[in-house]
Structure 1
Amino acid sequence: MTNPDTPIAVAMPASDIDNPYLLGIYAPVATELTLDDLEVVGEVPKDLNGVYLRNGPNRQFDAPGRYHMFDGDGMIHAVHFENGRVRYRNRYVRTKAFEAESAAGKSLWTGLMENPAGNPFGNGHGLGIKDSANTDVIFHRGQVLATWYLCGDPYAVDPLSLETLGAQDFLGTFAGDMMAHPKADERTGELLWFDYGPDMDFMRYGIIGPDGTQTHLAQIDLPGPRLPHDMAITTNYTVLMDLPLVQDQDARRAGKYRIFYDRELVSRFAVLPRYGQNADVMWFEAKPCYIYHVINSWEEGTKVIMDVCRVKNPQHQSRFDHPLASMLAYMRLDAQIYRYEFDLATGQTTERVLDDQNMEFPSIDSRIVGQNHRYSYNMRLANVPTLAFDGIVKFDSSTGQKLTHEFGAGRYGSEAPFAARDNSKGETDGYLVTFVTDEIEGTSEILIIAADDIEAAPVARVKLPQRVPSGFHATWVRADQLR
């Protein structure tokens, strides 16, 4: 075990004592570690080679006002597997805002739920909230990109050292900010993205080519400012979303950030050729909802099929008697696996529930994004007041069968992407890797679960000397990609 780096102070003002997203499994950790001698229960498979990375909020300094889980500075936790050996490392994403606060030795930004008028700067669209790059990690051209849920700079990070390489501008060709979930097409080497803003009646849609430069840009018209979170791709098409979660324009004029769910609006989906423009869009209407995360999309004849985790009501009425009741209500997701079929020949939308269990943060084998998949690996949402995952559900979209790996009472995990084993032959020929934290013991470990036997005990458990706070999204980077 190597010596840890210098601890970074994390303070908590009295006003945050009752904030559940600063306590227990969510509490920030103060030390960045590099560990290569870890206790293993079981045996780490020698055909599991690559790196598992997970992003999430971990604030460096306390900030004035109420803390929202989205406010924390991005911290990536990574586990490198190599021929049966395991290395763990965690590092902050050194964003521009993180560096400014580090230099000042204190917080310079208020949080999402406060007035941003005094904040030093925000994102490229004038939203004055701190871009913390705390949401997702996407692998593209030898780097992982740390992204932010409200559109910001994609920060390039070395997948092994976790050194922040800086805001990625794609050789000076990038035109815009990047949303949380760009799509990497491993067949073409392309990265597809969009952005939006609080005052924009359009979204920008673009493609980064395999040479690392922007090769396409389109402006897609919208009725007004929207907050789409994800997108879908197929071999030939891209699907963008215009959903009824919209900016409160009265609040915007007052300098505040506030969203609301407009139940009078339908959901709309823009299907356009991958290199299409606004004039090429076919719009499809569906029942109102919100979609945080797409499972996958593909083509069948004249149809584009898209599976998602669909939220019927993203703005529940709060049932919590708490000063942070609004945040607690928003973070209580109620999502089901749902299928849309967009018929390009008739313009008709068909939609239906595939499964009604509450599941989110889905993943599939990254090698077949945009092609027909059979299996997805979804995080089961725990029946607790906060956003927490108490198991992994393997869903078979062909038969509807579900198999579940439960973490156990008081144990909560992280998004678990499929990790293909060496020379993997398909969607279940590999493992699932996740961090699991025990809320009673205050400890964390790494679980390695066989994807083809998900209900069985973990193949191996790797103990960690420092807790990994609950966070957001994760990715798996294979050894052949690292090379």
Structure 2
Amino acid sequence: MAAKHTPVYLKETNNSLIWMRSCEKETAKPVEGKVKGELPQWLSGRLTRNGPGKTGFGDTQFNHLFDMSALIHQFIIHDGRVTYQSRFLQGDTYKKNLKANRIVVTEFGTGAYPDPCKTLFQRFMSFFTPLNKRDITDNCLVSVCHFGDELYAMTETNVMRRIDPETLETVGEKTNLDEYLMAVNTATAHPHVDPDGTVYNMASSFAAKGGPRYTIVKFPPPAVVNGKKKSSLDQARVVSSIPCKHKLQPSYYHSFGITENYYIFVEQPFVLNLKKFLLNAYLGKSFLAAMEWHSKEKTKFHVVRRDTGEILSTKYASDAFLTFHHTNAYEEDGHLVVDLCAIKSGDVISQFLLKNLSQGDFQVSPSDLPHHRRYVLPLRTQGTRTNTNLVTLKDTKCTARKLEDGTIFVEGQVISPNIIDLPRINYKYNGKPYTFAYGVEVNPLGVQFSRLVKMNMRTGETQLWHEEGKLVSEPVFVAAPDATREEEGVVLTTLLDKNNPTFIALLVLDPTSWKEVARVECVAQGKVTQTFHGQFAATGDSVHLL
């Protein structure tokens, strides 16, 4: 059902502890689903999704939601029929944990237990292994993205894993980005893709000359160079490098913005303390143990020209906030409009510890969860007066004022009072003016994805979709062939049943009416787990957008 915007959250009586589900059996062989309603005739392709699938190994349990073993889910749509399958990502980390029957590789929030397969001497010598040679997790559980015709599972380390798009089997050895780009320590799981197939991403180099830096990386489409085929990774290069504000405390980030002419990087005061990180690496402590939230610091916006890689000299700042997900950004009348999901504090990360999510009555304050916010950055600031609002766009409450030191201090506008995350758009409007965004409403009870949200970014109107007893996932917009309108297409998401752990359905919504068009219900071989992000690959397309 569709409903007009309301800030009232669902009062669920049954928290099914959806995040604590652990898949004991993959659905390796595709199972066909039962179609209800009518699928669009033009809809054909693969919806591949990624997320946490296993809570632990043996008698050891992961500590954090971001640590659980990656489980890849996929729906294949062809000739009006739909199949579902799932496979664990068979990376080195998964295999080592499985063999040892315990967690032996450190994750974001879980320190490794001693590997019983190693002798005492081997464990001792591992403390002297350089960081770039140590066991970096390849548990890529956040998202998936195509680089040319190759599909990769991604996380926030410098490692990706290639997967077969037809079988979901893990292909070959792990891909280390530092083999293609010098000294890359982390990268986001949220790249951007241009219409020609060029992929852009943000990465960090902690040991760069002159101190830690954030780098913008370009992966051109596959090509033949001097008679030899070059993959996107083979052609990877850095297009710009941004110095960290604090040399020993680089910012955490999860995504970034891009427009037709600019990149936008948000440097936030949720930082990695490198001193703690280096010590913890040798003590076997987690990445999370070295993270710090500095509430009195400002959040910085760095703007970089796409044509030259030049960092604009104008400094933009706001009161501290944390963001995981950018929605979109675009240029309008000498301004950059930046839309994202903002959280007031980095302390929210600890809310996702499994010891919290395993409590049936666990609830987070709505103020500690993401709200959709817009910021407007004026590009023409030289010669302007201080303490004067430089935002001249109509229909916005955003402000930008020049301070005495020349910094442009920006204040954002909340688009909707709903708790909204995992935002997606019609990606053909990425980096361009747009009207609609889609996401999930996060229920403070159990941090569950309870309702689907459609936002009109110009009017602030919000529409909600919900079905009793079901949970939704990130909505993915699929544009109709030869579409001429922004809403022309369908929105795909998955439905989980709170009480039936083997139920999964593909839900198809009409973006205009925000009503159900069709659904395909499947029965999995084992428990179905929630996912974070996914990508649709249309049959016949050579470039797969996000």
Distance 1:382 1:263, change over 3 A: same
Matched residue, 1:293: 325
- Corresponding position: 1:365 with 2:387: no
Among all aligned residue pairs of Structure 1 and Structure 2, give the percentage whose two residues are the same amino acid. 19
CA contact (8 A) 1:293 1:361 kept: yes
> What SS does structure 2 have at the residue aligned with 1:58?
strand
Distance 1:126 1:356, change over 3 A: farther
Distance 1:282 1:193, change over 3 A: farther
Matched residue, 2:293: 261
* Pairing 1:377-392 to 2, within 5 Å after superposition: 377-385=438-446, 387-392=447-452
Match of 1:206 among 214, 217, 223: 217
> What SS does structure 1 have at the residue aligned with 2:541?
helix
Q: Distance in 2 between matches of 1:239 and 1:339?
A: 13
Matched residue, 1:405: 465
Q: Structure 2 stretches of 5 or more lacking a match?
A: 1-15, 116-122, 223-231, 382-406
- Corresponding position: 1:342 with 2:384: no
Q: Displacement, 1:265?
A: 0.5
CA contact (8 A) 2:39 2:80 kept: yes
- Corresponding position: 1:152 with 2:158: yes
* Partner deviation per Cα, 1:140-172 (whole Å, 9 max, x = no partner): 312332111x32312222333323334346896
Distance 1:331 1:49, change over 3 A: farther
The amino acid across from 2:88 in the alignment is: Y
- Corresponding position: 1:235 with 2:235: no
- Corresponding position: 1:221 with 2:243: yes
Match of 1:92 among 80, 83, 88: 88
Distance 1:169 1:424, change over 3 A: farther
Say which structure, 1 or 2, has more relative contact order (CA 8 Å, 6+ apart): 2
The amino acid across from 1:272 in the alignment is: V
Q: Distance in 1 between matches of 2:355 and 2:88?
A: 29
Q: Distance in 1 between matches of 2:428 and 2:72?
A: 23
**Number of aligned positions between the proteins:** 460
Q: Displacement, 1:422?
A: 3.3
Q: Displacement, 1:131?
A: 3.1
CA contact (8 A) 2:71 2:88 kept: yes
* Partner deviation per Cα, 1:157-210 (whole Å, 9 max, x = no partner): 233332333434689634425523343333242211122367763222211112
- Corresponding position: 1:476 with 2:536: yes
Q: Distance in 2 between matches of 1:317 and 1:163?
A: 31
Q: Distance in 1 between matches of 2:303 and 2:353?
A: 42
CA contact (8 A) 1:342 1:350 kept: no
Q: Distance in 2 between matches of 1:80 and 1:74?
A: 20
Q: Distance in 2 between matches of 1:317 and 1:153?
A: 22
Match of 2:72 among 76, 84, 89: 76
> What SS does structure 2 have at the residue aligned with 1:360?
strand
Match of 1:165 among 147, 152, 171: 171
CA RMSD of aligned residues (A): 3.5
> What SS does structure 1 have at the residue aligned with 2:512?
helix
Distance 1:324 1:251, change over 3 A: farther
Distance 1:40 1:214, change over 3 A: same
* Partner deviation per Cα, 1:245-276 (whole Å, 9 max, x = no partner): 11245643541332222111000011001254
The amino acid across from 2:372 in the alignment is: I
The amino acid across from 1:435 in the alignment is: T
Matched residue, 2:456: 396
Matched residue, 2:493: 434
Matched residue, 1:424: 483
Match of 1:306 among 330, 334, 338: 338
Match of 2:315 among 283, 291, 294: 283
The amino acid across from 1:468 in the alignment is: V
Distance 1:204 1:281, change over 3 A: farther
Q: Distance in 1 between matches of 2:357 and 2:26?
A: 31
CA contact (8 A) 2:441 2:450 kept: yes
* Partner deviation per Cα, 1:100-120 (whole Å, 9 max, x = no partner): 345556542255444448579
> What SS does structure 2 have at the residue aligned with 1:367?
helix
Q: Distance in 1 between matches of 2:88 and 2:260?
A: 35
Q: Distance in 2 between matches of 1:124 and 1:431?
A: 45
Q: Displacement, 1:318?
A: 8.1
Matched residue, 1:132: 139
Greater CA drift, 423-432 or 74-83: 423-432
Distance 1:247 1:441, change over 3 A: same
Distance 1:21 1:400, change over 3 A: closer
Matched residue, 1:415: 474
Distance 1:253 1:326, change over 3 A: farther
CA contact (8 A) 2:261 2:305 kept: yes
Match of 1:143 among 147, 150, 157: 150
Greater CA drift, 208-217 or 229-238: 208-217
Q: Distance in 2 between matches of 1:157 and 1:468?
A: 20
* Partner deviation per Cα, 1:408-443 (whole Å, 9 max, x = no partner): 2x3111111102233333332111222211112332
Distance 1:171 1:358, change over 3 A: closer
TM-score by length of 1: 0.84
Matched residue, 2:306: 274
Matched residue, 2:8: none
Q: Displacement, 1:339?
A: 0.8
Q: Displacement, 1:308?
A: 0.5
Q: Displacement, 1:338?
A: 0.8
CA contact (8 A) 1:123 1:152 kept: no
Q: Rg: which structure is higher?
A: 2
Q: Displacement, 1:134?
A: 0.2
> What SS does structure 1 have at the residue aligned with 2:531?
coil
Q: Displacement, 1:316?
A: 4.8
CA contact (8 A) 2:159 2:177 kept: no
> What SS does structure 2 have at the residue aligned with 1:452?
coil
> What SS does structure 1 have at the residue aligned with 2:418?
coil
Q: Displacement, 1:402?
A: 1.3
The amino acid across from 1:27 in the alignment is: S
Q: Displacement, 1:314?
A: 3.1
Q: Distance in 1 between matches of 2:351 and 2:142?
A: 26
Q: Structure 1 stretches of 5 or more lacking a match?
A: 1-18
* Pairing 1:92-131 to 2, within 5 Å after superposition: 92-102=88-98, 104=100, 106-116=102-112, 118=114, 130-131=137-138
CA contact (8 A) 1:379 1:393 kept: yes
> What SS does structure 1 have at the residue aligned with 2:94?
helix
Matched residue, 2:386: none
Q: Distance in 1 between matches of 2:351 and 2:202?
A: 34
Q: Distance in 2 between matches of 1:336 and 1:34?
A: 39
CA contact (8 A) 1:362 1:376 kept: yes
